[in-house]
Amino acid sequence: MSAHSATILTRPSAEGGARVRALAPALGAEITGLDLAAGVTPEAVALVLESLHRYGVVVVRDQHLTPEEQLGFMGRLGPVKTSSYSRANAFCVPGYPDMMVISNIVENGRNIGLMDAGAMWHADGTHMARPDMYTALYALEVPQRDGKPLGDTLFASTAEAYDALPDALRERVTGRRAVHSFAHHIEKKRRLGDLRRPPLTEAQKAELPDVEHPVVARHPVTGRRTLFVTEGHTARIAGLAPEESDALLEELWAHIRRPEFIYRHSWRVGDLLIWDNRATQHLAIFDYGELRRRMHRVETIGPVPE
């Protein structure tokens, strides 16, 4: 982590026997000894938020959560996001329209959840005027081969990436804005052969217009500057010719993906993985084929990026 970042937590927390341990140099931490199903205290919420803002991504281990409990906990972190796109495509947990199923499982001839989530580096909801603030993914089924878990998720710290920008590149992007587009995202998936969901309807396109956000955004809580352009949803940099925009975006994406900014999460059943969507990007690894994988996702809405 950058020198000005908060000191790494290795001490016992104020929340009973819970402990926080850093997992990688740039980002990532685990919390053990916290039982969210037993009741969410103000101290538990404060511990998770403090850890998120220090480490970007936090895994709370060994949870046994009902959908109500996961939704209730995320509601303590912020307003829970409602997704008309998820509802229209029947990707929700039955009876819980604000909770999306992320899964490759097919039952009765249909996918029970979203099968291609995370195929490109992205941050959740950047195609919206108010992108997601926090996302929580709860692991119910984790595929394994020869005793090794599959389907890892990679995270990159966009705050650390910004801090490490060369001066010339920082000057080129300061003050610029970029266009984020869900239609672009879906079309890019199709071109790459990664699309495993229905195409957008005209009604969905109308509900999800393109938006502009700053290329360099300030985190709404910590105040740190972050790079806010993603391989998955950023279509172009406003005001630049297409060739110049494409080249600059590729340079920024390659910088964000540098190994020193990465944490790779290896899943366990019972992991509640929460990430700060305004300070990170992530990528799913599809190495499990037809082996069953099932997760429940809940997101909170954040402010307009500045």
Catalytic site includes residue 116: no
The pLDDT of residue 114: 85
Domain ranges in the chain are 19-301
Q: Is 107 exposed, middle or buried (0-12, 13-18, 19+ CB in 10 A)?
A: exposed
Q: Are 225 and 217 in contact (CB under 8 A)?
A: yes
Mean pLDDT score across all residues of the chain = 90
8 pLDDT tier (thresholds 50, 70, 90): very low
14 pLDDT tier (thresholds 50, 70, 90): very low
The pLDDT of residue 9: 37
The mean per-residue pLDDT over the stretch 261-289 comes to 97
Given CATH 1.10.760.10, say whether it is the number of domain 19-301: no
The pLDDT of residue 215: 98
pTM value is: 0.90
The mean per-residue pLDDT over the stretch 120-139 comes to 95
Catalytic site includes residue 282: yes
Which tens digit of pLDDT belongs to each residue from 46-100? 999 999 999 999 999 999 999 999 999 999 999 999 876 656 667 899 999 999 9
Residue spans of alpha helices (H) in the chain: 42-55, 67-77, 84-88, 158-163, 167-173, 182-192, 202-207, 242-256
The mean per-residue pLDDT over the stretch 168-178 comes to 98
190 pLDDT tier (thresholds 50, 70, 90): low
Give me the sign of the Cα torsion angle 137, 280, 251, 259. negative
The mean per-residue pLDDT over the stretch 17-34 comes to 96
The pLDDT of residue 83: 73
pLDDT at 13 over 70: no
pLDDT at 5 over 60: no
The mean per-residue pLDDT over the stretch 283-288 comes to 94
DSSP per residue, 90-135:
T-EETTEEEEEEEE--EETTEESSBSSTTSSSB-TTTTSSS-EEEE
189 pLDDT tier (thresholds 50, 70, 90): low
Distance CA 291, CA 284 (A): 15
pLDDT at 2 over 90: no
Report strand pairing: 110-111 vs 280-284: unpaired
Q: Are 67 and 99 in contact (CB under 8 A)?
A: yes
Catalytic residue, candidates 54, 98, 124, 132: 124
Distance CA 175, CA 163 (A): 16
CA-only gyration radius of the chain, Å: 19
pLDDT at 214 over 70: yes
Of 134-143, 164-173, 196-205, 217-226, the poorest mean pLDDT is in 196-205
Of 11-15, 44-48, 98-102, 187-191, the poorest mean pLDDT is in 11-15
Catalytic residue, candidates 54, 122, 278, 296: 122
Percentage of the chain with pLDDT > 90? 77
Hey, how many other C-beta atoms are within 10 angstroms of the C-beta on 95? 8
The mean per-residue pLDDT over the stretch 143-147 comes to 96
Catalytic site includes residue 297: yes
Distance CA 124, CA 303 (A): 13
